[in-house]
Amino acid sequence: MSALPDRPLRVLFVTTAYPANVADPRGTFVHALARALVRLGDVRVTVLAPGAPDAPASERRDGVEIRRARYWTRRGQALAVGHHGIVPNLRRRPWLALQVPALVAALTREAVRLAGDADVVHAHWVYPGGLAGLAARRRRGVPLVVTSHGTDLNLTMRSRLLRWLARRVALGADACLGVSHAMVERFLALGVPAERVRYVPLGVQTTGPADTAPARADDAAFAVWYVGGLTRNKSVETLVRAHAELARRGRRTTLTVVGSGPEEPALRALVAELGAGDAVRFLGPKPPAEIPGLLAGADALVLPSRAEGRGLVLLEAMAAGVPVVASDIPGPREIVLEGETGLRFPVGDALRLADAVERLLSDAALRARLASGGRALIAREGLTTDASAARHLAVYRAVLADAQRPH
């Protein structure tokens, strides 16, 4: 194998979250990276994802070859579908644990097969995709790159089994990539040598509809938005309570929630209990292509999560010129710089979140400064999709070159 083949570099993505269609928001950042790599012109990307009831077994989209591994009856494949993710799906329907071994086996079988035509295998999430990627590396001798997007390594803190699995995959990979410095530290804590761990962030498109902070009429209600899954980890309940607190303070705000998930019924019930129904909208999930346009109507975006890899939606809002507020946790705090690119609040603290939103509502100069600072951060750190693709390509070439050297 040549470290720099004289043909397009062949990369196999292995992932458990991937959009089943153009309207599916789950795993869109994986597809965005694959599409950007293809745009570079000297990379060919094949994506291996779990089967889904309404998705074809194979297709080509935006120049990316997509293969889906069937792991149950076609209509019964429910573990890795929907907008919620594997862990929330298991919490909602514990019997889906029966599908976990079948999913791992199907991904492993197909990864080994497809790796025969690949130069590099890139597993997104340490498990279960990383387990399949590790099997492909051992069977085919193809270098393995593993990315943690946050959920996987964050969960290792709660489970010895998951920590053991993550360590096994990470130590067997040729390169471990963290989308944030916090994820890099998690890899190092697993015992991965520092020379095999890299910070490689994802990015966003910066050609959206807004290049300036959104203007608002003085008499308009302040429009607060949330975009993401409605799961326990996202802690949208904190945002709902903060919205009610602002109403008690006499502040005119509206809250728009974009997304779906198992917590939606409880959130709707909480809105009703707090008497905030008239000013809260649940829009449901929206196609990823519509998000930049929707964000143009926001005065602020809030991400109240309890844990995140980075919080890519924060960068999407910054690119759209929308001020952001995020919980003060590893990952988001790397890009939400207090008073420069956004505001932060203690995780789960609805009163402090209400304070932060009230600051934005009351200070147009602050909103403009944060909007400008967010766009400057993206430019300064190269947090665009194309820049991320170039960084990933450099990693692939490096592991190929290293694999060729005698050890």
The structure tokens 């993401």 sit at 228
| Domain boundaries, position 261 | 222-381
Is there a contact between 57 and 37 (Cβ–Cβ < 8 Å)? no
Question: Is the pLDDT at 212 greater than 80, yes or no?
Answer: no
For tokens 């199907």, what's the residue?
106
pLDDT confidence bin for 319, thresholds 50/70/90: very high
Contact 45, 30 (CB under 8 A): no
Q: What percent of the chain has pLDDT over 90?
A: 80
Q: Which of 100-109, 129-138, 205-214 has the lowest mean pLDDT?
A: 205-214
Task: Please tell me whether residues 349 and 325 are part of one structural domain.
Answer: yes
Q: In the predicted model, is pLDDT for residue 3 greater than 60?
A: no
- Give the span between the Cα atoms of 375 and 360, in whole angstroms: 17
Q: How confident is the model at residue 216 (pLDDT cuts 50, 70, 90)?
A: low
Task: Specify whether the CB–CB gap between 236 and 230 falls below 8 A.
Answer: yes
pLDDT at residue 19 tops 50: yes
Q: What percent of the chain has pLDDT over 70?
A: 95
For the segment 148-168, the average pLDDT, to the nearest whole number, is: 90
- For residue 291, the domain's CATH number is 3.40.50.2000
Produce one character per residue of 151-175: b if its CB has 16 or more CB atoms within 10 Å, e if not. bbbbbbeeeeebbebbbbbbebbbb
d(CA 299, CA 10): 43
- In this structure, the answer to whether residues 318 and 172 fall within a common structural domain is no
Of residues 291 and 157, more confidence is placed in 291
3-state secondary structure of 321: coil
The burial of 287, by beta-carbon neighbours within 10 Å (0-12 exposed, 13-18 middle, 19 or more buried), is given as: middle
Residues 216, 121: Cα–Cα separation, whole Å: 47
In which residue are the tokens 């980890």 written? 233
In whole angstroms, give the CA distance from residue 227 to residue 294. Answer: 10
Q: Over 130-141, what HEC string results?
A: HHHHHHHHHHHC
Structural domain includes residue 215: no
Distance CA 89, CA 74 (A): 17
Q: Do 357 and 389 reside in the same domain of the chain?
A: no
- pLDDT confidence of residue 218: 60
Instruction: Specify the number of domains making up the chain.
Output: 2
Reduced to 3 states (helix: H, G, I; strand: E, B; else coil), residue 319 is helix
Question: Does residue 301 contact residue 226 with C-beta atoms inside 8 Å?
Answer: yes
Whether residues 21 and 79 share a domain: the answer is yes
pLDDT score of 209 more than 90? no
Task: Give the pLDDT band (50/70/90) at residue 20.
Answer: confident
Reported pTM: 0.93
Tell me 185's DSSP state: H
**Residue 19 contacts residue 49 (beta carbons within 8 Å):** no
236 and 354 part of one domain: yes
For 343-366, how does the pLDDT look when each residue is reduced to its tens digit (9 = 90+)? 999 999 999 999 999 999 999 999
Per residue in 242-297, pLDDT tens?
Answer: 999 999 999 999 999 999 988 999 999 999 999 987 899 999 999 888 999 999 89
Identify whether 149 is part of a domain.
yes
Q: Are residues 298 and 396 in the same domain?
A: no
